[in-house]
Structure 1
Amino acid sequence: DERKREVISLGIGDPTAHSCFHTTNEAKEAVVESLLIDKFNGYSPSAGLPTTRKAIASYLSRDLCYELSQEDVYITVGCTQAIEMALSFLAKPNSNILLPRPGFPTYALCASFRNIEVRYYDLLPQNNWQLNLEAIEDLVDQNTIAIVIINPGNPCGNVYSYDHLKKIAETAKKVKTLIIADEVYGHLAFGETPFTPMGLFSSITPILTLGSLSKRWLIPGWRLGWFVINDPNCIFKSPKIIERINNYCDLCASPTTFIQAAVPKIIENTKEDFFKNTLKMLKKNSDICYEKILEIPCLNCPYKPQGSMVVMVNLNIILLQNIIDDMDFCFKLAKEEYVILLPG
């Protein structure tokens, strides 16, 4: 009976939808302890608990050549709110923002709500989904508020090298704009190229880093993200900017307080074996997916995934009957086979 068939959803980056992915016991224990001590049932400061901000600053500073302070960190309801936060306080009349194509659609949605013009730059599949930096220079003008970089990539599964990220930072400096670095999949790199945080290049140009516990700790439903200002030379940070950020925080709800309170112990107590095991499973699943795609004549994967939890697939419409485009393909696949994919 088709009405009883199970839906296979491959359209959202939620690792908890698959039984092989579970968060670490240390994370669960930290949350239980935080809840049971009965100290974190009230509202938190709008920018987040000081202990949480300090823990995130320390965690991110491990990979940097300078120390972030807790004042550089703002706790958000997942990375989605961090995106909204960044675009909200950067928005100004006639502003535009550079977004990757393919990319994560939430950026364009948030930009439209803030009347920010979206200018897309194309990622190059034949060159490991890298940016065409000359095209970036052509797109930027005096009204450009930021260039968005997603690394590890969503939806392309790419991981940028140190050298490429440095060139991106140098280009941003040349055109006099800052970078929004979406690192929600930070450290989820299982190929030959290791993950490099964009914040390493913040001495070249200011970097706004967005991230969360969601992917690396396999807890997207806990909704714990962050917005971080990487600006050691204080080029971007000014009293006016900080005031605008704080005003935004005052308008919005903070993440659940007892989840925030658990963050220091979640970070401190999680063992490295947990992360290694996650990467091992991601690589295994990615390899299987890539190999199976190669066996299907109408599909092509231009780049073997090296990180994150997603893969970008090219669809050859000519080899399919009664399929108009990628949207039509995804709709009919869901209807006929109960498999959900995202058109791109």
Structure 2
Amino acid sequence: MKNILSTEESSPQRWGFKVNDFMKKGSCVTVRSVLTDIQSNINPADSRSLIPLGHGDPSSFPCFQTTPVAVEAIESALRSSKFNGYSPAAGILLARKAIAGYLSKDLKDKLSSDDVFLTIGCSQAIEVILSVLSSRPNANILFPRPGYPYYEARASHDHLEVRHFDLMPEKDWEVDLDAVEAIADENTVAIVIINPGNPCGNVFTYQHLNRIAETARKLGILIIADEVYNHLVFGNNPFISMGNFASIAPVITVGSISKRWLVPGWRLGWLVTNDPQGILKKHGIIDSIIDFLGICSDPATFIQGAIPQILERTNEDFFLKIVDILRECANICYDSLKNVPCITCPTKPEGSMSVMVKLDVSMLEDIIDDMDFCMKLAKEESVMILPGVALGLKNWLRVTFSIEPACLVDGLGRLNEFCKRHAKKK
């Protein structure tokens, strides 16, 4: 049978498909991609255990196991056979009501189920709101530096211009609000605030959050409040939800059960609109969120079905235990790093699961920068730390302390030995 395509017509140059430039290797930076590169440098001949001080997943350690209440809730939802079908695009109503009630405990303006949209983890909540905001021509968005690189990756994918404002280490990593006003313009749509802070381990005060809201109102932009580490605080400042300032500027809160319940793999998150003045609704943001969710995948229904029981029945003792362990680990981390000459920890972590520290490469013999430091540390000591360049700060390091205290002591000890070995000779 004669081929219906001529040689010219069947040539690959005429085919209509093409790889998205965004998906090409190296086009975007994520925590996963950087840690994968560093892990590839581990020496397989090293018989010591790998110490992961670079990621935020404590669930593999015995001291950071979720509450039996959560496991029983999942089992009960599965056995009930009530959650085997498709979910509404915004999520199952019972779950949305439960999350509205749970989050309202921290708010003066109470939420309803209509304010809550369920997502596949906090990552999808970020995807949804950035995709919605990118529909405005020439839009730009303000991200913190250092920050969480997933925001930059999603914004790049959606062709949303990114502008960075600095967090100030000398002021407990507060937002440089003068810089925010300097970089914003008429095309700025939102500012992202991460509190408790990832990667810095800071917790913003009520007064500072209020100033952030006033700045957002002055600029006419909404606030995206990333509160995935809500209530994981162990210092002087309590956790205060940004939603309490929604009467000043509209707030979209993203979060999940992944950190507080230590189940990042369950992938249950939310996007919540804090909009007492109806600004988001008036400008079509809420309708756009609903439309976007209509073309997205949904969280697993049995996990949605378990949410009311998880939120309502988890004992406060479970949370107190986790916070106590994190406090112990934060103290170990801060006290140990003070004894490493080439590393400076500007502030003691008060929340979340990590801390940013400054690396002085001029004190080291054969280390070029923070990435080189982390690659050689992995190879020589089987310790993984995230280089600050992945988070927007060159020659800084993010140290995650949410691991077994004994493992943390071991890892920080290896880090100290590595720095001694590479120290410049006096």
TM-score band, normalised by shorter chain: over 0.9
Q: Does 1:62 align with 2:139?
A: no
Q: How far apart, in 2, do the equivalents of 1:166 and 1:2 lie? A: 53
Q: Alpha-carbon deviation of 1:7? A: 1.6
TM-score w.r.t. length of structure 1: 0.98
For structure 1, which segment, 96-105 or 38-47, has the greater mean C-alpha deviation from structure 2 after superposition? 38-47
Query: Aligned match of 1:129 in 173, 184, 188?
Result: 173
What is the CA-CA distance between 1:5 and the residue it aligns to? Answer: 3.3
* Whole-angstrom CA distance in 1 between matches of 2:265 and 2:66: 11
SS for the counterpart of 1:12 is coil
The residue aligned with 2:78 is 35
Aligned partners of 1:173 and 1:317: how far apart in 2? Answer: 41
SS in 2 for 1:71: helix
The unaligned stretches of length 5 or more in structure 1 are none
SS of aligned partner of 2:155: helix
Q: Which moved more, 1:160-169 or 1:90-99?
A: 90-99
Deviations 1:32-72 (A, max 9, x none): 00011112122211111011111111111111112111111
1:52 equivalent in structure 2: 95
**Residue 292 (1) aligns with residue 349 (2):** no
Choose which of 222, 246, 256 in structure 2 pairs with 1:178. Answer: 222
- Displacement of 1:95 in angstroms is 0.9
Q: Does 1:78 align with 2:121?
A: yes
**Residue 336 of structure 1: aligned partner:** 380
1:24 aligned onto 2:67: yes
Q: Verify the 8 A CA contact 2:280 2:286 in the aligned structure 1.
A: no
Q: Secondary structure at the match of 1:217?
A: coil
Matching of residue 262 in structure 1 with residue 309 in structure 2:
no
Matched, 1:250 2:298: no
Q: Which runs of 5+ in 2 are unaligned?
A: 1-43, 389-426
Tell me which residue corresponds to 1:140: 184
CA contact (8 A) 2:258 2:266 kept: yes
Residue 244 of structure 2 aligns to a residue whose secondary structure is helix
Offset of 1:170 from its aligned partner? 0.5
Deviation at 1:239, TM superposition (A): 7.5
Which one is further off, 283-292 or 86-95?
A: 86-95
- What amino acid maps onto 2:346 in structure 1? P
Percent identity over paired residues:
56
Cα distance per residue 1:236-295 (max 9 Å; x no partner): 213833321112111111111000100001000001111111110000000001100011
Q: Secondary structure at the match of 2:270?
A: strand
Question: Which residue in 1 is equivalent to 2:424?
Answer: none
Structure 2 CA distance for aligned equivalents of residues 239 and 178 of structure 1: 11
Q: Find the counterpart in structure 2 of residue 323 from structure 1.
A: 367
Aligned residues: 344
Alpha-carbon separation, structure 2, partners of 1:124 and 1:230: 27
1:208 is matched with which residue? 252
Counterparts of 2:287 and 2:328 in 1: how far apart (Å)? 46
| 2:50 counterpart (7, 24, 30) | 7
CA RMSD of aligned residues (A): 1.1
What SS does structure 2 have at the residue aligned with 1:311?
Answer: strand
Where does residue 141 of structure 2 map in the other structure? 97
- Residue 117 (structure 1) shift: 1.0
1:3 to partner: Cα distance: 4.7
Runs of 4+ in 1 over 3 A off after TM superposition: none
CA distance, structure 2, for counterparts of residue 273 and residue 326 of structure 1: 39
Aligned partner (choices 274, 282, 286) of residue 238 of structure 1: 282
Q: Which residue of 2 aligns with 1:221?
A: 265
Q: Please give the per-residue CA displacement for 1:9-46, whole angstroms capped at 9, x wherever unaligned.
A: 11111111322111111111111000111121222111
Instruction: State the distance in 1 between where 2:195 and 2:115 align.
Output: 21
Compare CA radii of gyration and give the structure with the larger one. Answer: 2
- The separation in 1 between residues aligned to 2:210 and 2:222, in whole angstroms, is 13
Q: 2: CA distance between counterparts of 1:141 and 1:160?
A: 25
Q: Please identify, of 239-248 and 217-226, the stretch whose mean Cα deviation from structure 2 is larger.
A: 239-248
Which residue type is aligned with residue 21 of structure 1? F
Equivalences for residues 154-173 of structure 1 within 5 A: 154-173=198-217
Cα distance in 2 between the residues matched to 1:66 and 1:284? 34
| 2:416 equivalent in structure 1 | none
- Structure 1 residue 313: Cα displacement: 1.1
Greater shift in the superposed pair: 197-206 or 241-250: 241-250
SS at 2:294's partner residue?
A: helix
**Residues 239/94 of structure 1: CA separation in 2 closer, same or farther (3 Å cut):** closer
Map of 2:152 onto structure 1? 108
Could you tell me how far apart the structure 2 residues matched to 1:245 and 1:126 are? 38
TM-score, normalization: structure 2? 0.79
